[in-house]
Amino acid sequence: DNGLNKIANSTRTGYYLRKLMRDDCDPNSTTQLAQYHYPVYMRFTEIFLAYAEAANEAWGPRVAGPSGYSAYDVIKAIRQRAGIGTGGNDPYLETCAGDPAMMRELIRNERRIELSFENKRFWDMRRWKLDLNEPVKGMDVKQVAGALKYNIIDVENRNYKDYMYYGPIPDGEVQKWSNLDQNTGW
């Protein structure tokens, strides 16, 4: 059923999230369970993706750093765990393995997919200084003649300026030290 903007706490984008949810939870808010939900702040895979990104920037895709692993090794292991390139056949990874710029894009895409809906994408895009003015997209699902029809919709337009890549320094900190200049635009 399409819950798009039905009530105040329904979805604005048309997406509902199952990722990181407990299967034994009851969606009825009046039901109380003795099960605990532990919020995830950082996953093991995120550490590997951060290492792969740093290794690619420092030494390139194939050169192993002091730990003995290259960006290529780490991304290959992550992709194999996901069922991509099992048996050593991953043509996309092999294409990117010789070029740091292509490997950078592969790593960014792996972060986008692996960490989706974990509130990492905005901070990644901001850190990489990518365009933040892309509108938020959603999905309007309707049943037409017994078949589901999917329509991509714009949910919210963003208006980020270049100076917003860096946040403001708290005013109290600027007042404590007179040599500290506020970031441009703030």
What are the pLDDT tens digits along the chain (186 aa)?
Answer: 566 777 777 788 877 777 777 777 666 667 777 777 777 788 899 999 999 999 999 999 999 989 999 999 999 999 999 899 877 789 999 999 999 999 999 999 999 999 988 889 999 999 999 999 989 899 888 889 999 999 999 999 999 999 999 999 999 998 998 899 999 998
pTM for this one? 0.78
pLDDT at 1: 54
pLDDT at 38: 73
pLDDT at 75: 96
Which are the contacts of 143, defined by CB distance < 8 A and separation ≥ 6? Answer: 149
pLDDT at 8: 72
CA torsion through residues 44, 101, 87, 68, sign: negative
Q: Specify the amino acid at residue 121.
A: R
Closest CA to 78 of 109, 40, 99: 109
pLDDT at 15: 77
pLDDT at 124: 95
The end-to-end CA distance of the chain, in Å, is 44
